[in-house]
Amino acid sequence: MTDWELERIRMKKYMEMLRKMENKGKGEERGVRKLVKVEVNDGNFEEEVIERSKDIPVVVDFWAEWCMPCLALAPVLEKLAKEYNGRFVLAKLNVDRNPQTASRYGIMSIPTVIMFKNGKPVDSFVGVMPEPMIREWLDRNL
């Protein structure tokens, strides 16, 4: 399976999830759709993560296509990013294509998730965690 196909499947899942959540939210008051997810790379990490985190917490998901646990964690993070609706921004960083940033933060296992606030990493976790534990981690750090 090519990267493109994989991405397509992921996007399809993501879109399905968005639709599902939109249906759930019907009848409730919903605010303006906020930015919840960005793709980042070695080139724009400074601006998209470090600078942005001075205004709003940024949660960076260090992942790679060859890593199945990463693919299992991704939809959970994306769902939570959507649900928290702008209280943090989820940034996806592919460590395969962006080795500089991965090495700068000493990534040795993926998935690794790091929260940035005020330009600095404040907390992280490694591996797939169950959703309630990720919620707890977010609530503790936000």
By annotation, the residues acting in catalysis are 67, 70
**Residues in 16-75 that interact with another protein by CB under 8 A:** 64, 66-75
Stretch that binds another protein, among 26-34, 35-43, 49-57, 121-129 (CB under 8 A): 121-129
Task: Give residues with Cβ within 8 angstroms of 109, minimum separation 6.
Answer: 126, 127
Residue 104: CB minimum distance to another protein, A: 13
> From the list 90, 107, 115, 138, which residue makes contact with another protein (rule: CB under 8 A)?
107
Residue 49: CB minimum distance to another protein, A: 19
Choose between 56 and 75: whose C-beta lies nearer to another protein.
Answer: 75
Specify the 3-state DSSP secondary structure of 104: helix
Q: Mapped to the 3 state alphabet, what secondary structure does the chain carry? A: CCHHHHHHHHHHHHHHHHHHHHHHHCCCCCCCCCCCEEEECCCCHHHHHHHHHHCCCEEEEEECCCCHHHHHHHHHHHHHHHHHCCCCEEEEEECCCCHHHHHHCCCCCCCEEEEEECCEEEEEEECCCCHHHHHHHHHHHC
> From the list 13, 37, 87, 117, which residue makes contact with another protein (rule: CB under 8 A)?
13
Stretch that binds another protein, among 42-50, 51-59, 86-94, 101-109 (CB under 8 A): 101-109
Q: Using CB under 8 A as the criterion, which residues of the chain lie in contact with another protein when the complex forms?
A: 1, 6, 13, 64, 66-76, 79, 96, 102, 106-110, 112, 124, 126-128, 130-132
